[in-house]
Amino acid sequence: MRESKTLKNIKLLYGMSNLDYDTIFKKTKLLLTIYKSLCWKSSERAGEFYEQLQLESKRLDVALEFLVEYNCEVSKDRFLGSISSHFKTKWLVEVIDIALSHVYDYPDNGKLHKEIIKLSYLDFFRYSESEILEELNIDRSVYYARKKEAIALLGFAVWGMVIPKYLPKVHYKIISCQEVGQAPDCLSEVA
């Protein structure tokens, strides 16, 4: 499949920010696939969870550093367990919400990209592909092209905009897992 002009432009944004497109794309898909489970897990134990959060001394910067550093090759279940121990669910929701507002503001189909992410990954109701296509009034090939762009945009918004804003002291360059060799954390600090 040929790469769209929009995806090429998104990849240029990655390049200008020294972010590895493939690694962040994988991380973003993994984050999106566990999002509903993480939110559901916290809502099922709302009272207990709230009390637990009040007692915990976790800090947002530590949680964001975990998000930057996690290995992009871990299994979905292992990632869900790890992110649960580092992130307060409200922090993850906030990071995704802020990133989605950046996606929405993207000049080329930003609103459509946001809706695709929302319907495909974030809403608690599980939409079928045909329901999403009908809701957005687009055909299947357009849906898959825009979905890839949407994931790439969200990844850039999280790792290229939101995290650097909240972690200004951390200068990092995401590198591909293959460059790391054993892929311990897909992160290389930049002086």
3-class SS of residue 124: coil
- Tokens 């939409």, residue located: 127
Encode the chain (191 residues) as per-residue pLDDT tens digits: 689 999 999 999 999 999 999 999 998 998 898 787 776 655 544 444 444 443 343 455 555 565 566 655 655 566 555 555 545 566 777 888 899 999 999 999 999 999 999 999 988 788 999 999 999 999 999 999 999 999 999 999 999 998 888 776 544 444 444 444 433 333 333 33
- Tokens found for residue 45: 């134990």
Point out which residues pair with 189 in neighbouring strands: 172
Residue 136 identity:
L
Residue 44 identity:
E
Burial label, 54 (beta-carbon count in 10 A; 0-12, 13-18, 19+): exposed
